[in-house]
Amino acid sequence: MKAINISEIIDNTKGKLIQGNKEALIKSISINSKSVDEEGLFIPLIGEKFDAHDFVNDAYKNGCKTFLKDKNHDFNFNSEDINIIEVEDTTKALGDIARLYKEKFLINYVAVTGSTGKTTTKDMIYSVLSSEYNTLKTEGNFNNHIGLPLTIFKLKDEHQCAILEMGMSSFGEIEYLSNIVNHKIAVISNIGLSHIENLGSQEGILKAKLEITKNFTKDNTLIINADDEHLKTLKNKELNYKLKTFGFEKDNDLYCVEYKMNETGIDFECIVHNQKEEFFIPARGKHNIYNAMAAILTGIELGLNINQIKKGLLNFRNGKMRLDILKTDTFEIINDAYNASPDSMKAALDILGEYKQNRKISILGDMLEMGEYAESGHELVGEYAVGNSDLIITVGKDSKHIGNGAMKKGFDQKNTIHFNSNEQVIDYLKNILEKDDVVLIKGSRGMRMEEIVNFLNDYKI
């Protein structure tokens, strides 16, 4: 981390120095009392179940000499080389310091959001940009008001651009993140049903996602999947920023005209600047063509040529538990256990449906935060599973509606079964699995579907 001094922190957080030297330098920032150092700043956050102010003494014992605190907490150390800064809210101060730090780097920032596919889209953009630029990207699920600032603190002088994922569950959250980053380019992958319980409708979700353009001017670019029925409405609006679109429909700036899937990935052709170009991505599923097109347009916006972009896409690798295809001596496992929504469920079922010579088993868990759409959303997935799955196993509470949706479409009742727990699913699988089965596992993060993946990985017939 590039050094910042305490006076900068005070100015940007509207804080005040309680003790210490305002010219002291900070060379690292941590919210974990176990990972601090002498030249670092410890920021004690307050969560629903904890208050990290309780761990200030631990941070001190671990060598930390500079501390943030909120106005409702007091602590003192009998040492002249300790610095204590008081702020109104330590979590907000974390974002304020990230904004300060980000301004020290005159590089291009790309922000990525969407109801589904934002992480894969971010990773594909990273594959493209990192082929030519030293690029920082969001790791894991560090895409909220805490994770995004921590990602920014990883910026170094050698970085030439940064790709930052922005997640949200309510209004105002992406606006907050956008005010920290002030990115040049934003990408929205789609508008689905994720978090609809909090946002009321897909129109509400669109409004929340568009907070990513809060500070945009004519010098900024929004890249969207304009095959999405909600995002495509932007084409008919007067915008104060540039809009670039991708999809399969021919009225997009970049559109796919043909594709072919095989075991190693997808060959596809796109029209780019009125020229047909051939691309390959080492990933399965038609939805990944959308993700790749987002990456192609981002690369073009940041000055890469088509050959550089093609080379970058070849380096893409799916993230853990995101349509990760695992081959054992017994089964082929499609591990998509990271999270779930109706759109991502359908994308995963499409991949399962590509297997023509094997028995196809889908093990599907609850999709959480669906609110009043829980029953209809799960039934929609069940309808889509017909033709893509030979045996449907559901687990949880609302996922029972998946089986109902399948049966409404004529799916044989004896080939759909519901369980309340992953343990019950595993016990059932021990009695019915056959060699060379292809098994899809998918559910929301809270369902811990990886427990079933781990069983399948080790199970032998």
Task: Tell me the binding residues for ATP.
Answer: 114-120
| CA angle, 388 then 392 then 395, to 5° | 135
162 vs 193: CA distance, rounded Å: 28
Residues 6+ apart with CB under 8 A from 42: 30, 31, 33, 36, 56, 59, 64, 66, 67, 68
Return the structure tokens found at 95. Answer: 């974002």
CA 111 to chain centre: 11
Q: Virtual CA dihedral for 192, 194, 199, 203, nearest 10 degrees?
A: 0
265-302 in b/e form (b: 16+ CB < 10 A) is: bbebebebeeeebebbbebbbbbbbbbbbbbbbbbbbb
Q: Tokens 């609850």 map to which residue?
A: 366
Sign of the CA dihedral with 370 first, then 372, 375, and 380 last: negative
Is 325:282 a contact under the CB 8 Å cutoff? no
3-class SS at 289?
helix
Question: Residues annotated as binding site?
Answer: 114-120
